[in-house]
Amino acid sequence: MTEKSFAIEGMSCASCAAHVEKAASKVEGISFASVNLATERLTISYDERKTSPGQVVDAVSRAGYKAIDDEKERRASRPETERLRKRLLWSLLFTIPLLILTMSAMAGARMPEFISPENRPLTFALLQLLLTTPVVITGRSFYITGTKTLFRGNPGMDTLVGLGTAAAYLYGIYATIRIAGGEAHYVHNLYYESAATIITLITTGRFLEARSKASAGSAIKQLLSLAPPLATVIRDGKEKTVPASKVKVDELVVVRPGERFPADGIVTEGTTSADESMLTGESTPVEKAAGSEVTGGSINLNGSVICRATRVGSETTLARIVRMMEDAQGSKAPIARMADRISGIFVPVVMALALLAGTAWFIGTGDFRLAFTVLISVLIIACPCALGLATPVAVMVGTGRGAQQGILVKSGEALETARKAKVVVLDKTGTVTTGILVVTDTIPVNGTGEMELIALAAAAESRSEHPVAKAVIRLAEQEGVTISGPDRFSALPGYGVEASVDGTHILAGSRRLMNERKVDTGEADIAAEELASRGKTIMYIAAKGKFKGVIAVADTIRPGSPGAVTELKSMGLEVMMITGDSINTARHIAGEAGIEKVVAGVLPGDKAGEIRKIHNSGKSVIMVGDGINDAPALATADVGIAIGSGTDVAIEAADVVLIKNDLQDVVRTLRLSHYTIRNIKQNLFWAFFYNILGIPVAMGLLHLFGGPLLNPMIAAAAMSFSSVSVVWNALRLRKIRL
């Protein structure tokens, strides 16, 4: 199956989104179709053998909307906010004098005789018509889209607004004709100001909504702005400035202080520090030297360096982050499905209620003006905009806030599911621990100095690729110990290594190796056994047949792991650790981290089975891991979280990616999930509450018991405010502290 996204034009409410989704889903070969009203995107999954994107475009067009290839739309960058601002200014230009004119007459203010409704009713009516017509023309999109969707059987918000304002405008023209025919009393039945004011208020609401939605999507815009437009590359021995998109893999790139790295790469020359805060949320500069990895979009702070590009264009970390965020912001949380189902039938029901209420009032009172007011008020107040925006805008802002903190949530579903978890399963190596072996203890014996012991071990291991050997060599380099290359070297699988360095015979390896070579290790046996019981790997060193001491190596716990485990427990979660290591090693690490439940000795392929066991017991599970062998478990869990330093396979399998190698970000992910879903629930409550309260009032329930009748202009203002308030509430997520 192939995935593709389209920008959708013409949507104005949740009902529109439901109709577009339904139209796309009916195309043969489409297995999945989802519309996000906040981002105005349609995402489909389709079988290329059965259909094509063009057929989807045609289906959306037949439904009354326009689908545009998402990539083309992104490049075009439609200035929706600017267009709405111009429409609003034109509407205000004519609506304000119209309101002054009509409100003055209603208030009984003294008016110039040539436009007085009592003395010159026709002039009064024609002036209103003259001021209203430009506003109606400015708001013509309501009528174009509303008519299309109505005749195709998919009425939406524009249909409601179009019907309401067209009815008011056309009735005003009818009244003007009757005035011209001598029936001056029709001057009190003009509805021009209602039509113009409703269009202006709803345009105001859409402008504020568009501007707020632009703020909601600012996280992606900020990330896109990190990519520098140009790069300096070395070609044919000369520096050359090229577009950053033209940098090739393995090409050398020169990055000077203050410039952004144009691609992911490895430093080959120079030293500097980099500001990676926009990608990781970590404000502390990161030191870079030869061999260090750099990330495209980060800032080179103080040194000129040359880097070899390893990932360019759409494969860079920055591009992948943007892609993940766009996918997340285009996705739906399960909580949105109820709102979608309601929105799909909402507009036809509202139209029926408006007609029913208007007819009932006319039959009951014979007052056409009253009935007409009720009809327009119901049509205008019941637009389901707030309902459609409640979930997607919160998901958009929530995922954007997470990205700023180095937490990449791939979907709205993952965001919602995370807060329901009961168990958090942590992989040991690379998740609870750093995944890098380091020397933790040195025990020299028989008069051997510590540096001498390290030098002997490093010299013997200098040709080995074993992780234990690398840990010893790293320590030697850090301590400034000179490492002599061996004259002879032999790897002894399962035992260790044997080497000859400057004529000195050295053994480095297990106790079994020492026993076979008749080396007495008695002086360190008790200490070595105690270290081994704490999960450490023990290396025995002998030179010229004489025992020199012991070096202990271990994978150390991440500094933030104990605190993260404590916080997870305080949230009421059960925390357990899973590993392929021995039970002694696992228990020691778990003890340091504060984890009581441990599953050890698990083969890589069996981790997913352990996750299924927990899931089958009725508990939802979060799995946190980083390796290739964690990928099946990450995919099996209700929510898979990949530590950012992990493999590409693990990151692809996960639902959430933590850019920083910090277990505290699992806690922050759960907080983000909690805050976002709480915000969505608030939005849905107010959206439903608004419609439940607003529709009966518009239908004249209060007036039935002697109360006021809802003015259509007030209905329009209330409808616009409900949509804007939902977006503003979602924007509060930008300020949450994780």
CATH code: domain of residue 56: 3.30.70.100
One domain for residues 203 and 86: yes
Query: Domain boundary residue among 521, 556, 591?
Result: 556
The SS3 of residue 241 is: strand
Query: Domain boundary residue among 529, 556, 583?
Result: 556
Tell me how far apart the alpha carbons of residues 369 and 647 are, in angstroms, rounded to a whole number: 70
Q: Which of 694, 594, 573 is nearest to 638 (CA)?
A: 573
Is residue 401 included in any domain, yes or no?
A: no
DSSP assignment letter at 678: H
Is residue 355 included in any domain, yes or no?
A: no
One domain for residues 209 and 85: yes
One domain for residues 445 and 479: yes
Residue 215: what pLDDT? 63
One domain for residues 428 and 565: yes
- Beta bridge pairs of residue 424: 575, 622
427 is catalytic: yes
One domain for residues 442 and 458: yes
The total number of structural domains in the chain stands at: 5
**CATH code of the domain in which 497 resides:** 3.40.1110.10
**CATH code of the domain in which 591 resides:** 3.40.50.1000
Is residue 534 included in any domain, yes or no?
A: yes
One domain for residues 56 and 94: no
Residue 35: what pLDDT? 83
Q: Which of 638, 657, 662 is nearest to 647 (CA)?
A: 657
Query: Domain boundary residue among 556, 584, 608?
Result: 556
Q: Which of 535, 491, 531, 488 is nearest to 513 (CA)?
A: 491
One domain for residues 64 and 92: no
**Where would I find the H helices in 283-433?**
317-329, 336-365, 368-381, 385-404, 412-418
Kindly report the length of the chain. Answer: 738
Is residue 538 included in any domain, yes or no?
A: yes
One domain for residues 268 and 187: no
One domain for residues 64 and 36: yes
Is residue 525 included in any domain, yes or no?
A: yes
Q: Which of 327, 340, 427, 630 is catalytic?
A: 427
Is residue 201 included in any domain, yes or no?
A: yes
Residue 276: what pLDDT? 79
One domain for residues 454 and 307: no
Residue 75: what pLDDT? 41
One domain for residues 581 and 478: no
Residue 674: what pLDDT? 93
Residue 281: what pLDDT? 58
Token pair, residue 369, equals 């003006």
Q: Where does residue 366 fall: left (phi above 0), alpha (psi -120 to 50 degrees), or beta otherwise? A: left
**CATH code of the domain in which 276 resides:** 2.70.150.10
Is residue 322 included in any domain, yes or no?
A: no
Token pair, residue 235, equals 């070609």
Ranges in the chain, pLDDT < 70: 1, 12-14, 38, 70-80, 106-108, 157, 209, 212-224, 278-284, 324-344, 382-388, 604-605, 627-629, 645-651, 716, 719-720
Is residue 150 included in any domain, yes or no?
A: yes
One domain for residues 455 and 550: yes
- Its domain, for residue 163, covers 79-216
Residue 604: what pLDDT? 66
